[in-house]
A and B are shown apart, each in its own frame.
Chain A
Amino acid sequence: MDVFLQQLVNGLTIGMIYALIALGYTMVYGIAQLINFAHGEVFMVGAYFGLFAYSILTPLLSSPGSATLGVFLVFLFAMTLSALLGVVIERFAYRPLRHAPRLAPLITAIGVSFLLQNIIMLVFGPSDKSFPSLIESVTYTAGSVTFTNLQILIAASSVLLMISLHVFIRHSRTGKAMRALADDRDAANLVGVNTNRIISVTFLIGSALAGAGGVMFGMYYNTINFHDGYLAGLKAFTAAVLGGIGNIPGAMIGGLLIGVLEGLGAGYLSSEWKNVFAFFILILILLFRPSGLLGARVVKKV
């Protein structure tokens, strides 16, 4: 039982990060009907932005009084730059293809992802980079379940970000416009919703969340590499599909589920097949519930 709880705690931690990335996939799909395969790379670049911010803010982070502020600034820096990166990608890689056949932006997305990987490889070098923990590690024990303050930080800030996102989408004017655009693009345009602006905002938010996920990923595993975005992005995409692509709460639940199922699968069945579980789930979902757990059945408009 204790082992089970420990696996659950670990699975939830990585699940939070998957969920943050999955939100970007699902929001962009919901509004622009585009699978942004470069999103995993934005996540990876976000981790490198975090590393860069750390190298600037080292004096701030090393003095005990301002360490919290330092961590906050690292996140803010990585999120802001990732957000800008997302907007730039949308502006130059996807917007010119807005009315092209759906395959075209998909191919562009793969191109952008290669481009970002190789830029990072050239700038930061090909080998693993050591990523600082940023905070002094404290281990807590409850029963025989151990967890660290870092895991709490990841969970708390992920939940905070997700709640803010939910409030923003539900209650702000822009959020309302996003939902309108997702429902019916033509009707939204008729009542004055600016498609380009809203899509930019969507990329901005999605990429900022991915950037935050990247920094958490770096802090949690302490090493980052230019190809880390690939697998993490693929799993987050699976999470988005699992929850029902286009559905925001679905992406959150999907991310957590993927993290936990993967942890339990690797823990109880075979660690050798760890990566297989996520994709096995993807196949099952596509076979039996293609619209995902929370996805509405899409009625084809005639």
Chain B
Amino acid sequence: MRFFHSKIKIRHLATAFLLSALAGCSGESSAPVIKIGCAAPLTGDQAQLGLDLCRGLELAVAETNQQGEIIPGYKLEALLLDDQRNPAQAVNVAKKFVSDSDVMAVMGHFNSSCTKPASAIYYEARLTELTAGSTNPELSKQGFDTFFRVSATDDVQGPSGAKFAAHQLGLKKVFIIDDKTTYGKGLADEFKKEALKLGMTVLGHESITQGDKDFTPLLTRIKPLAPEFIYFGGIYPEGALLLRQARGLGIPIPFIGGDGIATLILVELASAPIAEGTYATMVGGDVEKIPAAKDFIAAFRARYGELGQWSAYSYDATNILIAAIRKAGVKNREAILKAMREIPSFTGITGEVKFNAIGDNEKQFIGVFQVQNGKLVYIGPAE
């Protein structure tokens, strides 16, 4: 298999060389640009999340260009690259961004397992990276001053889920499932710590494999243990299958998960009646109810149709990057990074963002969403 990959890669390289040679001949006529990269899974089972993210970015870029040049002489451009939720591919994507001298900032990646290796490459190239989706706490502790995030970290989100289950639902017996990824396992581990602290009974903690389809063996084992709810640290494709198969085996208990299942595709894949009642924690509250977000929602709907669960956050994240580029006033990665560090706080459509010393958002607010009548409904803060 290796052989084929390398062969394909060589062909890609050859094509890239040809194209760049052509561009060198004719590209001088176009206006100089500053590019913001969007790194997300754009194909594969998480493609919808990636589209949600990159569309928010594209909208922010388009709006900036409508207002005129971002800094004198430059237009802004979005560059979307697909990391296929695969860490190895994420590294390739990062290298591509780094080697494109027009790329001044990157919004991404989505999966923590992708952000982790990629962030090292951005650090070496002094390229500012802002993630709106990666939530693993370790990411900001690698000592990379190029790393920023607006999303909540799992060590806040996981415990919030436990508090919500204990305090507001009064549930005591839980079975934990995670998908072995940096995100899923991290979230589930943090949930478990808090759940034990709150005096819950953890009946078990098992892992499944991303991309697998059949979880009935695990669910069959869970059924006689009679948990009151299942906590799932993972993403919606497996979440939807777990829900379906649990209901098929006659397990009616609620599922609680993190932002990885806070999407309408979960409802579609599991089918509306089956997903009904599922809880998901996510950074922020209901975007639709925030007055400042009205224009954004209208513009997004006009351009793409349905509003994605992540789009408002990537829109805010992109606007933070744009603010940093404006503040720097030059097309220089180091200067933009410095400007990013100096942004005191930023109020976007989803609320206030303030970065701490390691690039994490100090203003983490976790809300709970529930699937009601086939829609994700905000039901309140997770506490």
Give A residues with C-beta under 8 Å from B: 2-3, 6-7, 10-11, 14, 110, 114, 121, 125-128, 130, 137, 139, 141, 146, 148, 217, 221-223, 225, 227-228, 231, 262-268, 270-272, 274-275
Contacts and interface: CB of A to CB of B under 8 A. Distances in A.
B373 to A, nearest CB: 18
Given A110-B1, A223-B269, 14 more contacts: A3-B220, A7-B217, A126-B42, A127-B265, A146-B250, A148-B248, A217-B213, A221-B244, A222-B241, A222-B269, A223-B237, A265-B217, A266-B218, A275-B212
Contacts of A221: 213-214, 241, 244
Nearest to B214: A14
A271 B248 contact: no
Nearest to B270: A222
Contacts of A262: 214, 217
Contacts of A14: 214
B264 to A, nearest CB: 12
Given A270-B206, A271-B208, A126 B43 contact: yes
Interface residues of B, number: 38
Interface string B41-52: 011111110000
B220 A231 contact: no
B224 interface: yes
B269 A128 contact: yes
Interface of B: 1, 4, 42-48, 180, 206-209, 211-218, 220-221, 223-224, 237, 240-241, 244, 248-250, 265, 268-271
Contact of B206 (A264, A272, A275): A272
A3 B214 contact: no
B217 A10 contact: yes
Determine chain A's interface SS by DSSP, over half rule.
helix
Given A139-B248, A139-B250, A270-B206, A10 B216 contact: yes
Contacts of A3: 220-221, 223-224
Given A121-B43, A274-B217, A130 B271 contact: yes
A6 B217 CA distance: 9
Given A146-B249, A264-B217, A266-B218, A222 B206 contact: no
A21 to B, nearest CB: 14
Contacts of B271: 130, 222
Contacts of B208: 271-272, 274
Contact of B48 (A11, A127, A231): A127
A54 to B, nearest CB: 14
Contacts of A274: 208-209, 212, 214, 217
Residue from A2, A263, A271 whose CB has the most chain B CB atoms within 10 Å: A271
A263 B207 CA distance: 15
A141 B248 CA distance: 12
Contacts of B215: 271
Contacts of B220: 3, 6-7, 10, 267
Contacts of B241: 221-223
B310 to A, nearest CB: 14
B52 to A, nearest CB: 11
13 contacts: A3-B224, A127-B265, A130-B271, A146-B249, A148-B248, A221-B244, A222-B240, A223-B213, A223-B237, A228-B213, A262-B214, A267-B221, A268-B221
Contacts of A2: 224
B183 to A, nearest CB: 16
Contact of B47 (A125, A141, A268): A125
Nearest to A259: B214
B218 A130 contact: no
Contacts of A6: 220, 223, 249
Contact of A271 (B4, B211, B217, B224): B217
Given A110-B4, A127-B45, A270-B206, A222 B217 contact: no
A110 B3 CA distance: 12
Contacts of A141: 250
Contacts of B207: 270-272
